[in-house]
Structure 1
Amino acid sequence: MIKLYLAEDQQLLNTALAGILDLEDDLTMVGTAVNGQVALDQIETLQPDVVLLDIEMPGMTGLEIARQLHTRQPQIKVIILTTFAQPSYFKQAISTEVAGYLLKDGPSDDLIVAIHSVMKGKVVYAPELVVGLTTQTKNPLSERETEVLRAIANGLSTKQAAESLFLSDGTVRNYMSTILSKLDASNRVEAIQIARHNGWL
């Protein structure tokens, strides 16, 4: 029997999906949550075989839960279920070595097949996400420029970004000027949006 845990903040979808999966002879739903922090706490207690995670949830995102489990409970298989086909989310999921990344609008039969596949040690990604990743635009920013923009995107001021990267304020400003030019962005917010959309952060 494969033990499942579902973390999905849309209560209706949470209940419906849990019910569908629980009907399978070899699947059993050991718990569900609509809050990410609650989900992580319960997962570590219940020790399911496979965890199904939404990305956007209150308390903690699915990607944050995946990172925690990868470090502390690597034997638990993680499948991300999302409506977001964004390359940046997909790349983050790959970096935490999730076993699966599927879109919510796919057939439930595909999800059931994916659960059995990851239990056999396979990795299952939605084809459209893989295509999106391989056709992605190359990052025009240097590694250092990407670090500067990531620091700003994380809410740091120019001064704080400079301190965290061991640079002067003027150097960070120069980097930001170059970043805006390379991304053809009119301001920092637009530059961050462009970089995130393309998965460069």
Structure 2
Amino acid sequence: MTRLPPSDDAPHDAPSGAPHPIRVLLADDQHLVRQAIAALLSFEPDIEVVAEVDRGDLVLDAAAGAQPDVILLDIDMPGRDGLAVAADLRDHPARVLILTTFSRPGYLRRALSAGAAGFVAKNARAEDLAAAIRRVRAGGTVVDPRLAAASRELGDNPLTDRECDVLRAATGGGTIADIARGLFLSEGTTRNYLSSAIGKTGARNRAEAGRIAEERGWL
């Protein structure tokens, strides 16, 4: 679902002499959550939600139409996850702010690497979210200090991209042959990637390796 900005027949500019409101695109597949966030932001005189989408693969088109200043992205969305969308928006003039329930240290590193300007938990207060929007619009960054500390303690993701692909596929419970076929790899190569991922995570098996990697935000 997308709500586009008013047409030219219905001007929405701020009164002459007043600052232009910060235009926000909100992407979240949880309808009640998205609508609640939009309602809370509507009370901020300098923030205007100009578009809403419920899928990650709708964000680029919505951004092209609505021309937002800030894009709020959930991570877990159908179509395309928020971290991938953030990378897609790297060259877009809007600033990206990740808004999620998943406060995993690895997600923070991946979000910042993808070009996001901030990472805010959904349990943040409405005034804190509004302040984060203003800060990233002004060119700053916003990171929860507790999450930043956990990210520093955890360190970089030790898994390669291909190890992540194989481990992610393995969480579905398929056989080695299934995983290899789906990723166009040989079964021997697939076993090697899984073995390496298990060793790097300190797990006992691929299921545990997948759980550890997901909890740390590496997948």
TM-score, normalised by the number of residues in structure 2:
0.74
Alignment-derived partner of residue 101 in structure 2:
83
2:148 pairs with 1:130: yes
Structure 2 unaligned segments of length 5 or more: list them.
1-19, 170-177
Question: 1:33 and 1:129, CA in 2 relative to 1: closer, same or farther beyond 3 A?
Answer: same
Q: How many residues align?
A: 191
* Higher helix content, 1 or 2: 1
In the TM superposition, residue 45 of structure 1 has moved relative to its aligned partner by 1.6
- Cα deviation, residue 189, structure 1: 2.5
Whether the aligned pair in 1 keeps the contact of 2:179 and 2:190 (CA below 8 Å) is no
Shift of 1:85: 0.6
Q: Which amino acid aligns with 2:119?
A: Y
8 A contact 2:25–2:63 mirrored in 1: yes
- Cα RMSD of the aligned pairs, angstroms, is 2.6
| TM superposition shift of 1:23 | 2.2
Matches within 5 A, 1:1-201: 1=20, 2-71=22-91, 73=92, 75-136=93-154, 146-147=160-161, 149-155=163-169, 157-158=179-180, 163=185, 170=188, 173=191, 176-177=194-195, 179-181=197-199, 183-200=201-218
- Please state how far the C-alpha of 1:173 moved relative to its aligned partner: 3.8
Pair 1:196–1:50, CA change in 2 (3 A): same
| TM-score, with length taken from structure 1 | 0.80
Query: How far does residue 24 in structure 1 lie from its aligned partner after superposition?
Result: 1.8
Q: 1:32 to 1:173 in 2, by over 3 A?
A: closer
